[in-house]
Structure 1
Amino acid sequence: MKSKFVLVLFFLMAISSSVYAAKTAFDEYIIGPGDVLEIIVWKEPDFTRDATVRPDGRITLPLIDDVMAAGKTPMQLKEEIQKKLQEYIDLPVVTVIVKEINSKFYYMIGEIKSPGAYSLSKPMTILQALAVAGGFTEWANKDKIMVLRFKEGKRIVLHFSYEQAVKGKDINDFNLMPDDIVLVP
């Protein structure tokens, strides 16, 4: 009986490690300006607070002043805050929680019913983005949709055909990235 339990436990551990091995762009959240963070310092209520990441990417905390938050994961920021607090607190234990995502957007323009900026707080495909924006106007060219994206400092153009996608052919429905512009001519 004990060996069956060990075998099942080993199997579950193998499955869970393979699930974590398949990472996507949304697995490691990168903090950005406008995000609201909850900084918790265990057993230190004077240091525990919410902090909004300023446009310059920093947050301000008691005694340690400005800390660069933008461009870091919550775990990286936690480690930096813990290191800086060691001057004032013995063995600080810090938790960083992203309470509000306000720094990631994609933009919908052209012949759609509701153009504008949309929050990218979870993975979003082009088809999902078109649905959120209310669909097309009557003059939309659904076969020539473009996604404008910055990659390595250059603007690239990715093409998407709604007509092909709804026919079940050549479905290239990919995830949008922060600052993508979906252009529906």
Structure 2
Amino acid sequence: MNCKTFALRSLVVFCAVVTVLGCSSNSKLPEATIHPSLTSDINDYRYLIGPGDSVNIFVWRNPELSGSFSVRPDGMITTKLIEDIEVTGRTPTQLARELEEKLSVYINNPRVSVTIGGYVGPFSEQVRVIGEATNPKAVNYKENMTLLDLMISVGGITEFASGNNTQLIRTVDGRQEAYRIFIDDLIRDGDISKNVDILPGDIIIIPEAWF
């Protein structure tokens, strides 16, 4: 192959790649679906079952139907009598009542209790900290969690953080709202009045300071 033929073929390949990339850049990925938490008040928190949890089901007088079942990544479990029942996003009490309804087809007047192990919860309940945190990560929500608790979980903020310009993103009535919070005042100056309640599903964005 001479140099002229090689150059021509290289040009054809380059044009083809540019064309494909150009077409790809016009495509738009779908936006992430917002799954708001059911908790909108710090005093009304209820734990919801999520993938990775262990669901312990006790059916009164029916030990053969009782047992411990792991919640699959698709949010479902398969019990000894009921296949593929969705459990994620439900409270243990809600799941117990649903199981009673389904089991009533097979046994008379079933009584079910549900307890949870693992305590992972659904993704919609996790609190996410990104940006200039020492250890950015998603944190499993715990009842009455505050900003100070969250900062302890992620190891505080880096020396490059602009803590007082931090944004808290919260879903309110199906819409994401942004609030300014003051992490520098809280953890560097000890101003406890800047401590705020955290709700399931909150996102904390800590920006880098401009020097």
Question: Do 2:146 and 2:195's aligned partners in 1 also have CA atoms closer than 8 Å?
Answer: no
Larger proportion of strand: 1
Structure 1 residue 25 corresponds to structure 2 residue 32 = no
TM-score by length of structure 2 reads 0.67
**Cα 1:97–1:135, aligned 2, differ >3 Å: closer, same or farther?**
same
Structure 1, unpaired ranges of 5+: 1-21
SS of 1:96's equivalent?
strand
Return the alpha-carbon distance in structure 2 between the equivalents of residues 112 and 65 of structure 1: 43
1:151 pairs with 2:172: yes
- Describe how 1:128-143 pairs up with structure 2 within 5 A: 128-143=149-164
Q: CA–CA distance in 2 between the matches of 1:23 and 1:156?
A: 17
In 1, Cα distance between the equivalents of 2:137 and 2:166? 16
- Of 175, 182, 185, the residue aligned with 2:204 is 182
Q: What is the CA–CA distance in structure 2 between the aligned matches of 1:115 and 1:37, rounded to whole Å?
A: 29
- Give ranges in structure 2 of 5+ residues lacking alignment: 1-40
Separation in structure 2 between the aligned mates of residue 74 and residue 107 of structure 1, nearest angstrom: 24
State the alpha-carbon separation in 2 of the partners of residues 171 and 78 from structure 1: 40
The residue matched to 1:120 in structure 2 has which SS? coil
Q: Which residue of 1 aligns with 2:65?
A: 47
Matched, 1:106 2:124: no
Cα distance between partner residues in 1 of 2:142 and 2:148: 16
Larger helix proportion of the pair: 2
2:182 aligns with: 161
Q: CA deviation at 1:85?
A: 1.2
> Between the two proteins, what is the percent identity of the paired residues?
33
Aligned to 2:12: none
Give me the CA root mean square deviation: 2.3
Give aligned pairs, total: 162
Q: For each residue in 1:120-147, what CA deviation from the matched residue of structure 2 results, as whole angstroms up to 9, or x when unmatched?
A: 2433211111111111211111211111
**TM superposition shift of 1:170:** 5.0
